[in-house]
Amino acid sequence: MTELARRFRQPGPLQARALRQAARELLLAQASHWPFILRTGASTGYARKRPTEHLLRFTALYDQLSKRRINQPWLAQIESSDNLFPDIDYRYWR
């Protein structure tokens, strides 16, 4: 995320959306409740699936930003499903 934030100092509107979503995905993958759920043994399949899903999304956004080819329909879909921290500022990672 630090690399992306430094590389895209003045992103266009679509790039800024993708950067904000990448930041969200990273935070969601690192959420403290996943290890807790795994430790307690409740919903372990879900607790394994979700961080992986967020990391895969982050990686896809990283690739799309790097290639400057953002899949706008897919971005809109994941923005609507996981829009925690709607005003997140990806520049925190600079």
Domain with residue 34: its CATH number is 1.20.1430.10
User: Could you list the residue range(s) of the whole structural domain that residue 87 is in?
Assistant: 2-93
Mean pLDDT of 59-84: 96
Query: d(Cα 69, Cα 67) in Å, to the nearest integer?
Result: 5
- Residue 50: CA atoms inside 13 Å, Cβ hemisphere, count? 18
The tally of domains found in the chain comes to 1
Q: What is the pTM of this model?
A: 0.85
pLDDT digits (tens, 9 = 90+) for 20-69: 999 999 998 887 555 656 566 666 666 567 788 999 999 999 999 999 99
- Does pLDDT of 9 surpass 60? yes
The residue-averaged pLDDT of 76-87 equals: 91
Whether the Cβ atoms of residue 91 and residue 27 lie closer than 8 Å to each other = no
CA distances to 3, 20, 27, 40, 70 from 94, rounded to whole Å, are 8, 13, 15, 36, 21
